[in-house]
């Protein structure tokens, strides 16, 4: 029998898929609002710089919008908004949002497209304003970039309240006009993919166990069964694969482990080498015998953020019908203290035969990824990209500004970086020096130690060096996403909570490979 919450979660996924296929169906009887954009004035220019859609709306109301905006206060700054009522019979409320300066483009210092980021932030603000007014349908000005506008709307409206009695008004964002429909629909898919990761990461660990996680992803992929194969590998299969490192972590919990394997066959060429995406899937991380402090431990329900973002990226790739082959791997388990759990000083054996001294049971993510990376090589991949909320040291190094990337491939780094500039969900390259490798290979009892011998120094780098010992592929990248796991107020178009980052960057990266760039 399904857990009550599991039923709710799967029902939410069904609604999610329904939205993807039925975005064009309108509920015209619903209360409706409109979000329009305006750019900052240029020097010595007294005229408002409306977007094309906003200018057309202003003409339709005989210039009343311009008049009211001018008398309502100083010019709108980037990300600010104003609400007007009674302007048009089709819209109960109209929100004008500030888009900043026009035509900024890619900023080399910030490593993102400033226009896209400003647009996402502005649209999310406008949509939330109308949600607070309990409007059920919001039309959104594409502001010259329908994809970024859709991402801002869909990401900005998301809030995890599935277990609350009082919920936010459910708002359906729609494109205002039809000039940018294809880009808008693409943006909706990108944002819904990230929201799926957010939903999984935010849900309590007693509701999203390894089994429920795997079932949820399987349900999300059900509409694409003609291009998808899902394997939920049980413990017996994991044992048959000699994944001793993975099993050593899972044995401390009463919840059985699952090795989730997803095959998306999007390329017409069945022989095309696949892109391998691997995600850390610790559905709750207590630290094991090396127990974490109780303060903030509840956030460790999201320690499966790597698996959530990787699997959600594959759901999105399938929805977009990207012409590329992708295989996703997610070792799923809990890291718990018990009489069966790993003890500091234990030695375990990974799938490739290497032995590992486990001096800190809270450095468990690298253990389960070690076996998953070994298995990934059996598919002769084009490239391997793994994502993991791996180290607190990554958060210390970069905070929430960017995910850290450790890679042996300049080509792979360039493609990931290019994708992140487009999405605004940035990545930053970190070192894989031999300096760090020595710290995990000089070990008293085994081939490797699961922590660096200098403990806190360069913790994210020594973790990456450990993973590298299980990689022979020419193109491999490790994304440490611990710093971007949650959002307080750093990303204005995401509410406080688990972020689902960098799902859109992984999708954009896969789309780049699919296009042959």
Sign, CA dihedral 178-179-184-185, equals positive
pLDDT at 21 over 70: no
Active site residue 233: no
Tokens representing residue 459 in the block: 């913790």
Q: What string of H, E and C letters represents the secondary structure of 139-169?
A: EECCCCCHHHHHHHHHHHHCCCCCCCCCCCC
Segment 427-433 shows an average pLDDT of 98
Task: Quickly state the pLDDT bin for 517 (edges 50, 70, 90).
Answer: low
pLDDT at 338 over 50: yes
* CATH class of the domain at 204-515: alpha beta
pLDDT at 227 over 90: yes
Mean pLDDT of the chain: 93
Give me the pLDDT at residue 456, please.
75
Q: CATH 3.40.630.10 in the chain, residues? A: 204-515
Give me the pLDDT at residue 22, please.
33
Q: CATH 3.40.220.10 in the chain, residues? A: 25-179
pLDDT at 8 over 50: no
Segment 2-13 shows an average pLDDT of 50
Give me the pLDDT at residue 488, please.
96
| Active-site residue (options: 32, 116, 232, 366) | 366
With H, G, I as helix, E, B as strand and everything else as coil, classify residue 405.
strand
Give me the pLDDT at residue 7, please.
55
| Active-site residue (options: 31, 82, 227, 292) | 292
The Cα 98–Cα 118 span in angstroms is: 8
Give me the pLDDT at residue 23, please.
36
More confident residue, 47 or 56: 56
pTM score, whole prediction = 0.94
Specify which residues 346 forms β-bridges with.
358
Segment 364-378 shows an average pLDDT of 98
With H, G, I as helix, E, B as strand and everything else as coil, classify residue 244.
helix
Segment 96-107 shows an average pLDDT of 94
DSSP code of residue 319: H
Lowest pLDDT segment from 22-36, 54-68, 229-243, 472-486: 22-36
pLDDT at 20 over 70: no
Reported as type and span, the H/E element at residue 7 is: helix 4-21
Task: Quickly state the pLDDT bin for 229 (edges 50, 70, 90).
Answer: very high
pLDDT at 427 over 70: yes
pLDDT at 16 over 50: no
Task: Quickly state the pLDDT bin for 25 (edges 50, 70, 90).
Answer: very low
pLDDT at 1 over 90: no
pLDDT at 285 over 90: yes
Lowest pLDDT segment from 216-230, 330-344, 405-419, 447-461: 447-461
Give me the pLDDT at residue 385, please.
98
Task: Quickly state the pLDDT bin for 213 (edges 50, 70, 90).
Answer: very high
Any idea which architecture 25-179 has in CATH? 3-Layer(aba) Sandwich (3.40)
Active site residue 43: no
More confident residue, 511 or 10: 511
Tens digit of each residue's pLDDT (9 = 90 or more) over 136-155: 999 999 999 999 999 999 99
Give me the pLDDT at residue 103, please.
87
């Amino acid at each position: 029998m399904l857990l009550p919450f599991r039923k709710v979660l799967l029902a939410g996924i069904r609604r999610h898929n329904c939205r993807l296929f039925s975005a064009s169906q309108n509920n015209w009887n619903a209360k409706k609002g409109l979000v329009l954009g305006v750019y900052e004035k240029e020097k010595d220019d007294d005229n408002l710089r409306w977007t094309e859609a906003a200018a057309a709306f202003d003409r339709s109301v005989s210039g009343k919008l311009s008049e009211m905006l001018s008398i309502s206060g100083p010019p709108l700054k980037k990300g600010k908004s104003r609400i007007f009522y009674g302007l048009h019979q089709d819209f109960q409320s109209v929100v004008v949002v500030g888009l900043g300066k026009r035509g900024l483009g890619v900023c080399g210092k910030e490593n993102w497209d400033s226009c896209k980021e400003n647009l996402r932030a502005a649209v999310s603000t406008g949509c939330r304003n109308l949600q607070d007014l309990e409007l059920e349908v919001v039309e959104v000005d594409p502001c010259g970039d329908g994809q970024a506008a859709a991402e801002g709307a869909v990401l900005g409206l998301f809030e995890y309240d599935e277990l609350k009695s009082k919920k936010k008004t459910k708002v359906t964002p729609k494109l205002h006009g039809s000039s940018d429909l294809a880009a808008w629909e693409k943006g909706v898919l990108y944002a819904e993919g990230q929201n799926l990761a957010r939903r999984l990461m935010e849900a309590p660990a007693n509701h999203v166990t390894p089994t429920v996680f795997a079932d949820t992803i399987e349900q999300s992929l059900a509409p694409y069964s003609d291009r998808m194969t899902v394997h939920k590998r049980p413990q017996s299969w994991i044992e048959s694969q000699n994944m001793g490192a993975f099993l050593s972590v899972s044995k401390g919990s009463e919840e059985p482990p699952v090795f989730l394997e997803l095959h998306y066959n999007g390329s017409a060429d069945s022989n095309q080498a696949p892109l391998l995406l691997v995600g850390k899937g610790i559905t709750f991380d207590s630290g094991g015998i090396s127990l974490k402090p109780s303060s903030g431990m509840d956030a460790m329900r999201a320690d499966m953020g790597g698996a959530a973002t990787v699997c959600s990226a594959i759901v999105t790739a399938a929805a977009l019908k990207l012409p590329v082959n992708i295989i996703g791997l997610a070792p799923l388990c809990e890291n718990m203290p018990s009489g069966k759990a790993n003890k500091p000083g234990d030695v375990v054996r990974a799938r490739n035969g290497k032995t590992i001294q486990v001096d800190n049971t809270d450095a468990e993510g690298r253990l389960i990824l070690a076996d998953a990376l070994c298995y990934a090589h059996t598919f002769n991949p084009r490239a391997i990209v793994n994502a993991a909320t791996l180290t607190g040291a990554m958060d210390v190094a970069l905070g929430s500004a960017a995910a850290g990337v450790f890679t042996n491939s300049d080509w792979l780094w360039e493609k990931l970086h290019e994708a992140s500039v487009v999405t605004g969900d940035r990545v930053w390259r970190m070192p894989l020096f031999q300096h760090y490798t020595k710290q995990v290979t000089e070990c008293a009892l085994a081939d490797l130690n699961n922590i660096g011998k200098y403990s806190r120094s360069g913790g994210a780098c020594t973790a990456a060096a450990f993973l590298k010992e299980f990689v022979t592929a020419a193109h491999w990248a490790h994304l440490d996403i611990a710093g971007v796991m949650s959002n307080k107020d750093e990303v204005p178009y995401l509410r406080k909570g688990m972020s689902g980052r960098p799902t859109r960057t992984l999708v954009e990266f896969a789309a780049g490979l699919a296009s042959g760039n």
